[in-house]
């Protein structure tokens, strides 16, 4: 901004040019989308595409445009969506369990410290993998530990050393969602908790573990939306890069 104003002061630009420039923050306009190409400047990471809810042709176009600027991460992508994307963007890769598309190679980890992604059950693994992939895409080393829920807490105790080795923990749990509290109590590490929609009946599509995690009595737990593996992985990646 200062540069811009100094150019004006120096007579290198006109008032009208300055007005235009002041308003021309970078984004790329499409008929149905404003790609936030400025985000990489603001936050250090490019915009991520949530495929769910968008028309497939829109996803295809958006991924193609974004791929010109930076590596791409597109989440909640069904196999059909990937099939359409890869036709236009041949270097796109599919991560089946995580249900995600990436374009560009995942970066070499920038740091040593690790994000650990833990799941309570086998059925929570897709959400956990989405979190793990996101953190890896941001440049974090990631470790995983699956199916260690509280019904058999000895499985968790057995892995305590592994848990203590991480800088940030992402804990993914459906059913009653009690695992993040127990993990935070055991380790004293910051925990990003992800409730999942795995359950039935009074589970209410994930509301039950969401409430459990919000009401946890162990400090050091924060929560993201139900099934939001991306959000948890993003936060963990961001925090792991803090220096």
HEC profile of 81-92:
HHHHHHHHCCCE
Residue 39: count of CB within 10 angstroms of its CB: 16
Interface positions, 71-90, toward a copy of itself (CB under 8 A)? none
Residue 34 CB, shortest distance to a copy of itself, in Å, is 4
Nearer to a copy of itself, 91 or 110 (CB): 110
Rounded to 10 degrees, what is the CA torsion of 127, 181, 178, 202?
-90
User: Cα separation of 136 and 95, whole Å?
Assistant: 13
Which DSSP symbol is given to 150? G
Comparing CA positions, the residue from 200, 208, 238 lying closest to residue 226 is 208
Q: Which of 80, 105, 108, 242 binds a copy of itself (CB under 8 A)?
A: 242
Residues linked to residue 118 through DSSP beta bridges, in sequence order: 145, 171
Which position among 71, 104, 109, 205 is part of the footprint of a copy of itself (CB under 8 A)?
205
Cα separation, 116 vs 118, in Å, equals: 6
2 makes contact with a copy of itself (CB under 8 A): yes
Residue 179 in contact with residue 187, Cβ under 8 Å?
A: no
Residue 228 interacts with a copy of itself (CB under 8 A): yes or no: yes
Minimum distance from residue 137 beta carbon to a copy of itself (Å): 12
Interface positions, 18-47, toward a copy of itself (CB under 8 A): 18-19, 22-25, 27, 30-34, 36, 38-39, 42-45, 47
Cβ distance to a copy of itself smaller for residue 77 or 221: 221
Residues that contact a copy of itself, how many (by CB under 8 A): 110
Query: What DSSP designation does 239 have?
Result: H
88 or 215: CB nearest a copy of itself: 215
Q: State yes or no: residue 121 binds a copy of itself (CB under 8 A).
A: yes
Please, which of residues 90-109 interact with a copy of itself by CB under 8 A?
Answer: none
Nearer to a copy of itself, 103 or 118 (CB): 118
* Cα Rg of the chain (Å, integer): 21
Near a copy of itself in 136-195, by CB under 8 A: 146-155, 157-158, 167-168, 174-178, 181-182, 184-188, 190, 192, 195
């Amino acid at each position: 901004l200062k540069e811009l104003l100094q150019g004006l002061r120096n007579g290198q630009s006109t008032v009208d040019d300055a007005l235009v420039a002041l308003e021309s923050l970078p984004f790329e306009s499409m008929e149905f989308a404003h790609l936030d190409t400025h985000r990489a400047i603001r936050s250090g990471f490019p915009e991520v595409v949530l495929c769910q809810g968008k028309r497939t042709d829109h996803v295809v176009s958006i991924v193609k445009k974004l791929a010109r600027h930076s590596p791409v991460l597109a989440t909640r992508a069904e196999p059909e969506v990937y099939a359409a994307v890869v036709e236009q963007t041949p270097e796109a890769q599919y991560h089946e369990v995580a249900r995600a598309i990436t374009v560009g190679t995942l970066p070499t980890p920038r740091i040593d410290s690790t994000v650990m992604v833990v799941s309570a059950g086998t059925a929570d693994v897709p959400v956990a993998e989405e979190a793990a992939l996101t953190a890896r895409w941001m440049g974090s080393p990631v470790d995983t530990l699956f199916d260690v829920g509280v019904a058999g807490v000895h499985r968790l105790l057995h892995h305590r050393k592994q848990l203590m080795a991480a800088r940030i923990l992402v804990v993914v749990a459906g059913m009653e969602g009690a695992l993040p509290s127990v993990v935070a109590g055991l380790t004293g590490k910051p925990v990003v908790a992800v409730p999942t929609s795995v359950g039935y009946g009074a589970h209410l599509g994930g509301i039950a573990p969401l409430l459990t995690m919000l009401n946890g009595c162990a400090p050091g737990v924060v929560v993201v939306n139900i099934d939001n593996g991306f959000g948890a992985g993003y936060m963990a990646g961001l925090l792991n890069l803090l220096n």
